[in-house]
Amino acid sequence: MRVNKLLRFISCLVIICQVGIGKGDVYQYTAGSIIKGEISKTGLNRLSNPPYKITQVTGDESKYRLKHDEDGLNIYIMPLCEVGKDIEISIRNNAGFVQDLLLRVSDTKGKVIVIDGHSANNPEQLRNSILSRMLRAMKDDVADIFYVQAGLLQISDTGGLKAQQIKTYQYKNLRGGIFELRNPTREIVNFSGKIFARGFDKVIGVYPDEVAIMPKQKVKVMLVQEIKDK
């Protein structure tokens, strides 16, 4: 019996050594930005977001497989793509905060990636988290947690482009709009998000920043404003 227990213990040690989890990389939660890191092709990669639980992972599932702890505090990501390739994912925790990550697959030991979410409790981080979530929802054309109202609203032409607002998103003191811009000319028109935003008050986010719009082409632009609480 003692021999069997000893053999099991030795086997566990061998497995741990083979998996080779490396030291942890700690990042601060930063809404609206992309955390860049590395994960192992063959090792065990653990991802956590203390003090929260990761409740959702969004990305191209053909590039990775996931496993979860029973308590939801950790997820384990296993790359299916080659060394040198990138995996883009977004994680959402049980407080509703979203963090984007760009993970490069490498030929190293398994990685521990810790996204410290304690800073998400300050007001600016909360606002930036909702801003990031609203821009993503508008880009994906989903309601998510937001009040959404559809309807066409003609606005002034901008830089030779015909423009109209097709949807409005609302969450507390943040208001977002999806705009359809059409190039009616026979020339390429270069769109600037910064210039477009000048026609609105208290803009805190706009996507895309810049884009070349071909003749007769239509593009969608997302813009978010901060408004006064009612």
Q: How confident is the model at residue 23 (pLDDT cuts 50, 70, 90)?
A: low
Q: Could you tell me which CATH number the domain at 124-226 has?
A: 2.60.40
The beta strand positions in the chain, using DSSP E, are 21-28, 34-40, 45-48, 54-59, 64-68, 74-79, 86-93, 98-106, 110-116, 147-154, 162-171, 174-182, 189-192, 203-207, 210-213, 218-226
**pLDDT tens sequence across 121-137:** 667 777 887 888 899 89
CB atoms within 10 A of CB 85: 14
- Do the first three CATH levels of 20-121 and 124-226 match, i.e. the same topology? yes
Q: What pLDDT, in 10s, does the model give residues 103-114?
A: 999 999 999 999
What single-letter amino acid sits at 133? R
Residue 153 reports pLDDT greater than 90: no
Per the model's pLDDT, the better-predicted residue between 206 and 154 turns out to be 206
- With tokens 């609302």, the residue in question is 170
- CATH number corresponding to 20-121: 2.60.40.1550
Angle CA(168)–CA(171)–CA(176) in degrees, nearest 5? 35
The yes-or-no verdict on residue 214 having pLDDT over 90 is: yes
| Predicted pLDDT at 120 | 65
Over residues 27-56, the pLDDT tens digits come to 988 776 789 999 999 999 999 999 999 999
Instruction: Provide the residue ranges of all domains of the chain, joining segments of one domain with +.
Output: 20-121, 124-226
